[in-house]
Chains A and B, each alone.
Chain A
């Protein structure tokens, strides 16, 4: 039986011949990031062997004793930027949880339901957590339910990313033996860490936390509640979670009679985070025609026009997270996040942490491709204009655009951006067609989500992710999944209102829309 020695973990793991390094690492609880869950496509799980060679741990099958050096990505992960604040609105403090001291005991009510009783007067000790469960990041606020005051806030990387980065890979991971248990345990450990940090920072005992709002996409809600998400991953994409559900919080280590509220989900790929976004941005109450977009791997969007809402999601893929991009990386120190070409052709670059550029994160990628498209270094069809010879460098006999000393952009990278932006743009066009609205009649465009927060309107227009008619109408509204979760926590009436609103939303499945293929292909050019 071959033995793998994990050098920096100081661990020896005996394995059956033919086991991959990734499988061995997982069995030994060694954190090895594999965003594509071992498909061999993302190239991010590379490790160094004893002989100095670098291999993909998910593809390398062990047949004899080897030593493996796992790269330490903890520092990079801890440094990932997280946007916690989102736009919100005025609402009455009328929480679901109420406390009532009757002279001897304090009753804890969840709506009309008596949840439990505590000895003495504890009526001032009443807290809840608004939790945004992002596929990549978790943001939690501890909120006093009588006053609405945010008494503590914490955030961290979603530890499930170590098993699979994007939603579909994670659903696939859940379908494997023990997969959903692993993901649920991983979520619970993160939840406990956030809960303890909130409790310590505010000096609030965890037994006085009575309700938690889980605001996340449909798959994340499944994984945060230990619910089987597998039917989400196959047509007709069925959710195992009911709309606007309340569940007991027994597993989450808050008050012994605490509860968890799951906001209504719109569809398998338009989740509670978008419902929270609609709520926080008052999308359904705004005047005129308003488009709400969360730019990311799933590119969810909702169009509001004449009191009617239509929603869809688009398979943008992980290019915006730096995946499948030659020099792509997460939004961590060293990542190029801004890029500009001035009128005199001088280039200015801003990296996260103002360090030497080591790669490109999503916002930088859109800036770079946007600027190259604007200056015609990349043509309408996305092709490098090779007549501008002195601009390009060369790699493996092919022209590449030198972004900085160590960072390049290839023609294939531009193609990835075209596919991602084409998916989102075709979704926008399909929604506008559904509600019979012309592009120029859209009054406001709200871009939500932590990725969107770092984008510039100009880049989105330059690459044609948004139509030119949207110029000057774009607002970045931040993490509305979080601010919407807080509103759900603090006002119980909102819950019924949003449940009936969500039922009325026109849900569009793009792949089933006639003419979608032509629309998508037409949306690829700049």
Chain B
């Protein structure tokens, strides 16, 4: 979950008369996890669907709404300055086609306000921008810009990047700066040209990598240009509104920008007026309480919605900064949050039928109890292993097996094909314990048939015991077969994991369903086991064909 850290004093200023402890309490009721809170910092874990809460301004807005301290439900953009426009060259279409922009005037940045805004935009680029792939945001000092502006694809030009003192080529920025190395691959490191935003004096930004030093924003900056570039027009537009709402809440005036693309001229951001209606009865039903329309509207207001009552429905206006509202189901959740999950009364769901445990698990439970009765303790092991443990230590050849593509851990590469190696590893952990040691496991093994993955249940058991021999484990297998009423036969078999002449196959209806015998000393040694051991493993899927039909 995204973690956001905000300055406590700054946040305190933003929420005005609301007491800070109360505000923190309200925030957690919105589903935000308060991970840390002291006089300097508040650390929050916020679900990724609510980017509007990724900054102190947005959090303050929702707290004030929640406590009915604010009635600001709509955000508007001042009409555009006809002088200012961005002309888009259609060559960017294949690399990063869309740009939205806003102009912010009358900013009085405190130090905290500036870092709050910058952290906010960075977080959005990371989370919603998927590491700037889908969205990148640039802030520029408007008064340093000479209009008009162009967004296009350029050759390897020069500019002075942010916080540098000399000119660099675009290609050098990609190769030699931290941001270039990190984000260069988004534009294929410039192989097909470099997307850039330029004005009359040159480059404002190499997109989506680095801004120019010339238009750097400081706490003295009064007017800003914010550009949002990306791969989805819908998203660049929504993010423009999201940022506009933050500056509006800071008391600035926000203006639109004309975007010219070929013959098309549009104002950015495009209007984002959306209304959604939810029947009042549905809201009441969800909360388990009879709501009056007045209280429903009050709940809507708590979550920042302007709402009216019309034809027995509550019609709300979706705030411009909300990115997560797909349809009425999302609105319904906000009503529930405003009402408070703690206050939703429990209503039992009557059953229409009898419950039941699956036949498979009923059988497995019985089988496991039988194994316990035979003196074996149940083991629980990971399904993951590597070729070394699964095959080599068992002295067997590799067979087709399910392989992992991208394991983080170097110790695992595949899904196990057999239970015995898992069990042997367990013994290696407490070899000093009193003998005999007996483990069984009833769980899954994996293989591949052609291209089809096979998931099966096996029953495996190992007994490490100075006195163990072939006949002891054969007796266990016989007991099982008797209890399960299966008429099995034994057939001499040579298997590299077992001692030659002390191993047999278990045959049921002319099909091999399992194996048992005395473990080979080299296998024991491979697992650091110092006493003799016997083992068996049976395929339950072959023993019970109905079990394999999950």
Chain A bound to chain B = no
